[in-house]
Chain A
Amino acid sequence: MIGKIGKQSLYGPLDDPARDAGHAEPPPRVGFFTDTSVCIGCKACEVACKEWNNVPDDGFDLLGMSYDNTGSLGANSWRHVAFVEQRSTSQTPAREPVDLACRRSNCPGRAPVPRAGRSSAG
């Protein structure tokens, strides 16, 4: 087990998380391309993730946190587009960092791969 500590830390590259988690013959890993430089915060990626993985909705709760009603990652929310509203004189307040729950999950469709160009979700 000692040898696994480095591999299962919460940062750094993950070479083969599905096998690490005990799956004998997992399907090939596929990526979720996210280009935050063109992201408008439409959350289509959250929907695509749920559609692909057949994850149920997480309840209809208004959170009052900007456009964000997902709130946080959880059992039924594996992607989360957060909105950070900033006051700024240059008037560029919103940024949308994308959180993912799947970095360590058994999901085969996981692992953000930063890439130039549009995201696969359009």
Chain B
Amino acid sequence: MGSNMAEAHPVGFQWVVEARNRGARVIHIDPRFTRTSALADTFVALRAGSDIAFLGGVINYILTHEKDFREYVVAYTNASFLVDERYADTEDLGGLFSGFDPNTGTYDQTTWHYETVEPTNPSATAASEHAREHAASDEHGSGGATLEGATEGIAADETLQHPRCVYQILKRHFARYTPEMVERVCGTPKEQFLAVCEAWTQNSGRERTSAVVYSVGWTQHSVGAQYIRTASIIQLLLGNIGRPGGGIMAMRGHASIQGSTDIPTLFNLLPGYLPMPNAASHPDLASYIDGVRANRQKGFWRNADAYTVSLLKEYWGEAATAENDYCFDYLPRLTGDHGTYRTTMDMVDGKVSGYFLLGQNPAVGSAHGRLQRLAMANLDWLVVRDLTMIESATFWMDAPEVETGEIVPEACRTEVFFFPAASHVEKEGTFTQTQRMLQWREKAVDPKGDQRSELWFFYHLGRRLKERLADSTDERDRPVQDLNWTYEIDGDPATGEPSADSVLRAINGYDLTTGGPLDGYSGLKADGTTSCGCWIYSGVYAGGVNQAARRKPGRDQNGYALEWGWVWPYNRRILYNRASADPQGRPWSERKACVWWDAEQGEWTGYDVPDFEKTKPPGYVPPPGAVGPDALRGDDPFVMQADGKGWLFAPNGLVDGPLPTHYEPNESPFRNPMYGQRANPTAKRYPRPDNPVNPAPPVDPQAAGDVPEVFPYVITTSRLTEHHTAGGMSRSLPYLSELQPALTVEVSPQLAAERGLEHLGWAHVITSRTAVEAQVVVTERLRPLRVEGRVVHQIWMPYHWGSVGLVTGDVVNDLFGVTVDPNVLIQESKVATCDIRPGRRPRGEHLLRYVEDYRRRAEGAQQ
């Protein structure tokens, strides 16, 4: 769902096909019929942006027919926990939860807490404007939200009857997500929807498990995090988490994107999902640690102090001491939203002077490409490191804005430095794939000419900066001066390639008292005697061996292939696999056995590495006063969670609600059929003249413009298997370019008739941002859907094209504006409203006037 896995992840999809050949049933739910659908047993079409309604319908089906895996649900989830009596649901408040402040568009989450747990939500005490400026992950990191007092036992009703227990709240919340409502909102026929519900529930339980696969199609929505939450609730209710064949698989955007979140390129995270410190609330290390985790909470996240201090020791080595807070003050601090899109707008506004682009092509790949290009045209300098001269390096001379006169090459002030990058076969290192598996990669050939690895670039950049600042007496240069920058160099120290192996060892971490490598994160200490570049990766060099480089063939080991590569944490292939055994420690079934308690040996054992303290028996009850891992019971499988349980209901941590709720996309041709509240009330919008939004239908159904005429259609985008994201790696290659040589727009035969579009003829798609042209492909892969009693047409485009390369075309992402999910600040670029007209788009200044006219008419129609 939300994934075109066959086309975007063909190497992984071979296993789906193999599973299908061995009897697994594959269901593909997507707005459009794709090559994935062609190999699925069942294809189910739905309207782009309606996934929570669909999945909420599945939850309602499970609860109405009591199809949940009750023993699992009672023992391993928070279904029985009681929630604060002041909590009010969307059922009570017309689509809002308790605590909403309409002035700031934020929630005070105090009332979402468990009855017996103290609220620790920062926005409950600080000004909510603060919350507005942050992503949820700044506050919480990987361990999720804190729960002060979770160790003391949470008030619960194991019969699941109490009206305020999570199970009953869930039941009430999803009661209106009926099959009829699913049909009305998603356009999916009721019978087809029920067939999915039956297949999913029948294939779950003791003997069987089902897996969910999603991709970027789910994340790029104003409610993206809640899409995934909805799937998580289903999988927890059906007992499909922590068990073989279950889970929720996130297909990442491209190779090692998992790695680039683990050791992040994100503004709000430090390695291992530790939050980036905040200027206002984290003046010192102690206050930071207190903000990361509560004192009286369960689980391994409670040891965040050891992870943080070890990271600081890795960064600043001997300079980091207990007396100076391990150089905590050297870390930069967040003062607000510094996300990609905020930064782009700051560039437009002249607040940012320099920018590094590394393997990223925002001129094509980011939403609102026009805004991206105008932003980059207003810098002092721009560094682009890529394989070829991508659009983000050449925008100043060939952007569409040159044609419209908005960028004048002779006057563009940005100085662009292009550095050719070594490709993945020209350097060694690791990839971390979606299963959290690190796989070591050898160098096949030497890079040619000036091509260099990222490792080379950053090592030598850091080295030169250190040399430049060596004699500085300015206090602000201390973080660079003290930086621990000692890696093995192959050859000349001034030009040689740093050893990726030595970097991996630093990431794994050292016992600084012996100098030896650590065997895993449980060995990390908060007293400065260990260093570790990323605590979850600790163990990748256990025993002084590069575990990621192991390549024992599958035929020589069991199906978990524990000696192929290395999976964080601790080489555990299935996260939270304690849940694969029942509370007494026995597998739920022989068929689905994974790990179990061996009473004779007094330890957990099994096919996988147990994701649990090895010798803690299933019946273990912690002594009073225990905290952290010691406070985990023998049947608390979710060892990172503050209460050891899977969260059906999120009592803290999500800024847009404790339960997923169907809101319409920010741009939709419909009012919300389910609630008075139309779109996500907390979605972050950037209202400014250069970020216009297609208007929404009026609240009053009798008002004019109820059926939008200016932007009547829904557009969604995705990839083709023949091209790679923004095209930098594929439009430059003849063998790939010839396979998909031109930008196309797919429409149904019905829409083609309605708008007079001809197969292979030109058409242009228009939104409030711009118009882009493409050749028309009329295909039944797209079908009109019936939503809210009327027909809605969906349009699809691939987004791989730009102005350079062997095959060129308009930038499809120029069509989208910037509205972001409030939890993670990811843009809604998988759904918008639009119009489509035959023929090519206007050129030059005429294009600007044409789009402006559309905007004016759309706004006029809504008034």
**Interface set of A (CB-CB < 8 Å, partner B):** 37-38, 40-44, 46-47, 50-51, 56-62, 64, 66-67, 69-70, 85, 87, 91-95, 118, 122
Residue of A with least CB distance to B735: A47
Q: Are B760 and A43 in contact (CB under 8 A)?
A: no
Q: Which residue of B lies closest to A119 (CB)?
A: B14
Q: CB < 8 Å: which of B43, B735, B777 contacts A91? A: B43
Chain B residues lying within 8 Å of A92, measured Cβ to Cβ, are 38
Complex-state Cα separation, A54 to B780, whole angstroms = 37
B35→A60 contact, CB < 8 A? no
Which chain B residues border A47 with CB–CB below 8 Å? 735-736, 739
- Contact pick for B780, options A46, A58, A69, A87, CB 8 Å: A87
Q: Name which residue of chain B comes closest to A43, CB basis.
A: B739
Residues of A within 8 A of B738 (CB): 57-61, 69-70
Query: Is B721 close to A, CB under 8 A?
Result: yes
With A40-B7, A50-B735: A85-B780 Cβ-Cβ less than 8 Å: yes
Closest 5 CB pairs of A and B: A60-B741, A94-B38, A57-B734, A62-B742, A40-B6
Q: Is the CB of B741 within 8 A of A122?
A: no
Other contacts beyond A61-B738, A91-B33: 17, CB < 8 A: A38-B17, A38-B21, A40-B721, A42-B7, A42-B35, A50-B735, A57-B735, A62-B741, A64-B759, A64-B775, A67-B720, A70-B739, A85-B780, A92-B38, A93-B38, A95-B38, A118-B18
Could you tell me the distance between the alpha carbons of A60 and B738 in the complex, rounded to whole angstroms?
5
Contact B735 A38 (CB under 8 A): no
Instruction: Show 23 A/B contacts (Cβ-Cβ < 8 Å), sorted by A.
Output: A37-B21, A38-B14, A38-B17, A40-B39, A41-B38, A43-B721, A43-B739, A44-B10, A51-B735, A60-B738, A60-B806, A60-B807, A62-B744, A64-B760, A67-B740, A69-B740, A70-B739, A85-B779, A85-B780, A85-B781, A87-B780, A93-B38, A118-B18
Which residue of B33, B720, B736, B744 is within 8 Å of A93 (Cβ)?
A: B33
Q: In the assembled complex, how far is the CB of residue A35 from the closest CB belonging to chain B, in whole angstroms?
A: 10
Please indicate the chain A residues that have their CB under 8 angstroms from the CB of B38 in the complex: 40-41, 92-95
CB distance from B715 to the nearest CB of A (A): 20
Q: For residue B761, give the distance in angstroms from its CB to the closest CB of chain A.
A: 10
Residue of B nearest to A44 (CB): B10
Q: Mark contacts of B8-45 with chain A using CB atoms, 8 A cut-off: 1 yes-contact digit, 0 otherwise.
A: 00110110011001000000000001011111001100
B737 is an interface residue with CB less than 8 A from chain A: yes
The answer to whether the Cβ of B859 comes within 8 Å of any Cβ in the partner chain is no
Tell me the residues in window 230-256 of chain B with beta carbons closer than 8 Å to chain A beta carbons.
none
Chain A residues within an 8 Å CB radius of B14: 38, 118, 122
Closest to A95 in B: B38
Whole-angstrom distance between the Cβ of B77 and the nearest chain A Cβ: 35
Q: How far is the CA of A60 from the CA of B801 in the complex (A)?
A: 14
CB distance from A89 to the nearest CB of B (A): 12
What is the bound-complex CA distance between A81 and B396, given in angstroms?
40
Our pick among B13, B21, B777, B806 for the contact of A40 (Cβ within 8 Å) is: B13
| Cβ–Cβ < 8 Å partners of B775 in chain A | 62, 64
Q: Which residues of A contact B33 (CB under 8 A)?
A: 91, 93
Distance between A50 CB and nearest chain B CB, rounded to angstroms:
5
Any A CB within 8 A of the CB of B690: no
Cβ-defined contact, A91 with B37, below 8 A: yes
Docked-complex contact A40 and B17, CB < 8 angstroms: yes
Q: Is B722 an interface residue (CB 8 A)?
A: yes
Q: In the complex the two chains form, what is the Cα distance from A95 to B38 in whole Å?
A: 8
B12 CB to closest chain A CB (Å) equals 11
Across the interface, name the chain B residue whose C-beta is closest to A38. B17
Chain A hits for B807, CB < 8 A: 60
In the complex, what distance in Å separates the CA atom of A66 from the CA atom of B38?
A: 12
Give the contacting residue for A43; candidates B42, B722, B742; CB below 8 A.
B722
Cβ–Cβ < 8 Å partners of A38 in chain B: 14, 17-18, 21
B10 lies within 8 A of A42 (CB): yes
Q: What is the CA–CA distance of A92 and B38 in the complex, to the nearest angstrom? A: 5
Q: Mark B717-735, 1 if CB is under 8 A from A, else 0.
A: 0001110000000000011
How far apart are the CA atoms of A41 and B38 in the complex, in Å? 10
Whether the pair B741, A61 counts as a contact (CB closer than 8 A) is yes
- Inter-chain contacts of A70 with B (CB < 8 A): 738-739
Rounded to whole angstroms, the CA-CA distance of A85 and B38 in the bound complex is 9
- Return A56 CB to nearest CB of chain B, in Å: 7
Interchain nearest-CB distance for B55 vs A (Å): 21
Q: Tell me which of A46, A62, A67 contacts B35 (CB under 8 A).
A: A67
In the complex, the answer to whether B739 meets A46 with C-beta atoms within 8 Å is yes
What B residues does A51 contact at CB under 8 A?
735
Interface mask (B733-773 → A, CB under 8 Å = 1, otherwise 0): 01111111110100000000000000110000000000000
CA distance A95 to B523 in the complex (A): 54
Chain B min CB distance to A16 (Å): 30
Q: Is the CB of B17 within 8 A of A64?
A: no
| Alpha-carbon distance A61/B739, docked complex (angstroms) | 9
CA distance A94 to B21 in the complex (A): 17
User: Do residues A62 and B760 form an inter-chain contact, with CB atoms below 8 A?
Assistant: yes
Docked pose: A85 CA to B741 CA in angstroms:
20
Could you say which residues of chain A place their CB within 8 Å of the CB of B737? 57, 60
Q: Which residue of B lies closest to A40 (CB)?
A: B6
How far, in whole Å, are A38 and B42 apart by their CA atoms in the complex?
Answer: 17
Q: Which residue from chain B places its CB closest to the CB of A59 in the assembled complex?
A: B738
CB contacts (< 8 Å) of A46 on chain B: these are 735, 739
Task: Give the chain A neighbours of B42 by CB distance below 8 A.
Answer: 91
Checking A40, A57, A60, A67 against B742 with a beta-carbon cut-off of 8 angstroms, the contacting residue is A60
Docked Cα-Cα span, A69 to B744, in Å, equals 12
Whole-angstrom distance between the alpha carbons of A56 and B734 in the complex?
Answer: 8
- Residues of B26-73 contacting chain A, CB below 8 A: 33, 35-39, 42-43
The smallest C-beta distance from B557 to any residue of chain A, in angstroms, reads 19
Pick from B10, B739, B759, B781: contact of A69, CB under 8 Å: B739
A21 to chain B, nearest CB (A): 26
A66 cross-chain contacts in B, Cβ below 8 A:
779
Distance to closest chain A CB from B775 (angstroms)? 6
B741 near A69: Cβ-Cβ < 8 Å: yes
State A93–B32 Cα separation when bound (angstroms): 13
**Contact present for A94 and B735 (CB under 8 Å):** no
Q: Which B residue's beta carbon lies closest to that of A41? A: B35
Q: Which residues of B contact A93 (CB under 8 A)?
A: 33, 38
- A residues within 8 A CB of B13? 40
Q: Which of B21, B736, B741, B807 has the most CB of A within 10 A?
A: B741
- Chain B residue with the shortest CB-CB distance to A76: B738
A91 / chain B contacts, CB cutoff of 8 Å: 33, 37, 42-43
Which residue on chain A has the smallest CB distance to residue B21?
A37
Q: Within 8 Å CB of A87, what residues of B?
A: 780
Interface centre among B10, B13, B18, B735 (most CB of A within 10 A): B735
B434–chain A nearest beta-carbon distance, Å: 17
Q: Tell me how far the C-beta of A73 lies from the nearest C-beta in chain B, rounded to whole angstroms.
A: 14
User: In the complex, what residues of B have CB within 8 A of residue A67's CB?
Assistant: 35, 720, 740
Chain B residue numbers with a CB within 8 Å of A95 are 38
- How far, in angstroms, from A91 to B26 measured CA to CA in the complex? 13
Instruction: Determine whether the beta carbon of B10 is less than 8 Å from that of A40.
Output: yes
Q: Is the CB of B777 within 8 A of A64?
A: yes
Minimum distance in angstroms from A98 CB to a CB of chain B: 15
Q: Which of B345-403 contact A (CB under 8 A)?
A: none
Q: How far is the CB of A39 from chain B (nearest CB, A)?
A: 9
Q: Who on chain B is nearest to A50 by CB?
A: B735
Q: Across the interface, which residues of A come within 8 angstroms of B17, CB to CB?
A: 37-38, 40
- For B10, give the chain A residue with the smallest CB separation: A42
**What separation, in Å, do the CA atoms of A122 and B11 have in the docked complex?**
7
What residue of chain A has the Cβ atom nearest to residue B41's Cβ? A92
State in angstroms the CA–CA spacing of A61 and B806 once bound together.
12
Q: Identify the closest chain B residue to A46 (Cβ).
A: B739
How far does the alpha carbon of A50 sit from the alpha carbon of B735 in the complex, in Å?
A: 8
A contact residues around B741 at 8 Å (CB): 60-62, 69
B459 to chain A, nearest CB (A): 33
Q: Which of B7, B734, B738 neighbours the largest number of chain A CB atoms within 10 Å of its CB?
A: B738
**Which residues of chain A are near B735, meaning CB under 8 Å?**
46-47, 50-51, 57
Q: With contacts A60-B742, A122-B11 known, is A40 near B734, CB below 8 A? A: no
Residues of B within 8 A of A85 (CB): 779-781
